[in-house]
Amino acid sequence: MASIEAVTVPKWGMTMTEGKICGWLVEVGGHVDRGQEVVEIETTKVTNVLESAASGTLRRIVLPIGTTAPVGALAAVIVDGEASEEEIDAFVETYADRAGVAGEGAVEGNAPRLIEVPDGTINVSEAGLESDATVVFIHGFGGDHTTWLFNQPAIAETIRTVSLDLPGHGASSPVSQGDIFARIVASVTAAVDAIAPGKFHLVAHSFGGAIATALASADQSRVASLTLIAPIGLGREINREYLDGFVSAERRRPLQKVLELLFADPSKITNDMVEGTLRFKRLEGVPESLAAMAATIADENGQLQQIGDKLAKLTCPVTVLWGEDDAIIPVAEADGLPPNVRFRSFPAAGHMPQMEAASAINEAILETVRSAA
């Protein structure tokens, strides 16, 4: 008996409502293995590939290249075994009725909300069912909580999750005076205390890795695990072209060149991503906040924050993940990791492996979370 499976427009991120088909990577009649990349889809943030959840033959493409469709829409049909064209026609025609509303089965999140902290407000986005512990996502310099659009929904299928905007990013209050690093740590700590009062797992990227390590060091009794993705603080080397360029870029083309440094595949940068970043950088107080933050990350001699000694003293599971083609902080910076830290690198991924190797990163995050049990 044949198994007929649907390929649907995924929900990457809590706010994603639709996606545009950019390219089919398998032709009709071609064989597909479970986990194989089958279609390239563009969102308002980034372009990424969808992996097949089933093995078989790609029998029907429902959404041609260039089509924009809502989350949950039927994009293609994969058949394992023998099925007639009439059976596939019936599957396509009745899919909407059987699947329900678009996006059914996707983990829903609450609307982002602001948490009061001593330095203003922190924007947070929650998703997932109530659980004994919470996974807290902390993005890096120049990002926001949507950095995790390919990760938070997947992790939220098994555990409660929270992603936040660091001060001076997204919808959080800017900060540009005094000890910037200490003030950011204090604000994030206050937000986490308010929204994840029990035990929590930290997942952090780049600059966020130093923030997360500070949190873990300060309260080891509550931090169940720590997963760092291309973190700062393990050496001195860093691409100042990215830091300086991100702060100074005021027009579309210079900013796009800077953002392309984040990815092994620069084509993943979308026009919407560039325009959205420009709009964010023009908000009151943001340019000053970004400049002050960049100055806490590195100077002309390299990185300023160092986290190796703190990691060595942690008793919770600690994992570091890195893209092998990172053009911001080279993967070689991980060579000096303390022995209590597990390490894994990902080929064909740059400074944003959580986007370029999302499935593998999600598996690694969940493995670390489970190891804490």
Confidence band of 222 (pLDDT split at 50, 70, 90): very high
Of 190, 156, 158, give the one whose Cα is nearest residue 172: 190
- Asked which of 99, 131, 147 is the last residue of a domain, the reply is 99
Do 180 and 227 fall within a single domain? Answer: yes
User: d(Cα 89, Cα 92) in Å, to the nearest integer?
Assistant: 5
Give pLDDT, residue 333.
96
Do 84 and 173 fall within a single domain? Answer: no
Residue 263 has pLDDT above 60, yes or no: yes
Mean pLDDT of 141-162: 93
Confidence band of 111 (pLDDT split at 50, 70, 90): low
- Count CA atoms within 13 Å of residue 293 on its CB side: 28
Angle at which helix 271-281 crosses helix 252-260, to 10 degrees, equals 110
Partnered with residue 6 across adjacent β-strands are 77
**Domain-embedded: residue 104:** no
Give pLDDT, residue 139.
98
pTM for the complete prediction?
A: 0.78
350: domain range? 113-371
- Asked which of 99, 134, 169 is the last residue of a domain, the reply is 99
Do 95 and 180 fall within a single domain? Answer: no
The pLDDT tens digits of the residues spanning 228-253 come to 999 999 999 999 999 999 999 989 99
